[in-house]
Amino acid sequence: MAKSKNFSEQHRVGKVKEFIASGLTANEFCRQHGISNSTFSVWRRKLTPRKIADRNIKVSQRSSAKHQQL
């Protein structure tokens, strides 16, 4: 069993801000930083302002539309 990590609030906020600025997908970012997707999703829900969450949904919808056109 893997040892669990306890991340400080400051660390979590920093990683969420870094993710937003990175332009990577959540999966890519988590892989690069050694964070599980489920853990990072919880951080984002708790720490991301509503505007940013809405922006991510719009980007996701645009990506889906592009894939449907192919």
* Per-residue pLDDT tens over the stretch 1-52: 556 678 888 888 889 889 989 999 999 999 999 999 999 999 988 887 655 5
Q: What is the DSSP letter of 34?
A: T
In a domain, 5, yes or no: no
Residue 48, domain member (yes or no): yes
∠38-3-1 over CA atoms, to 5°?
Answer: 90
Q: Tell me, yes or no, whether 32 lies in a domain.
A: yes
User: Does residue 4 belong to any structural domain of this protein?
Assistant: no
In a domain? residue 35: yes
Domain count, the chain: 1
The domain in which residue 48 lies consists of 11-69
Closest CA to 19 of 2, 43, 1, 38: 43
Q: What is the pLDDT of residue 11?
A: 87
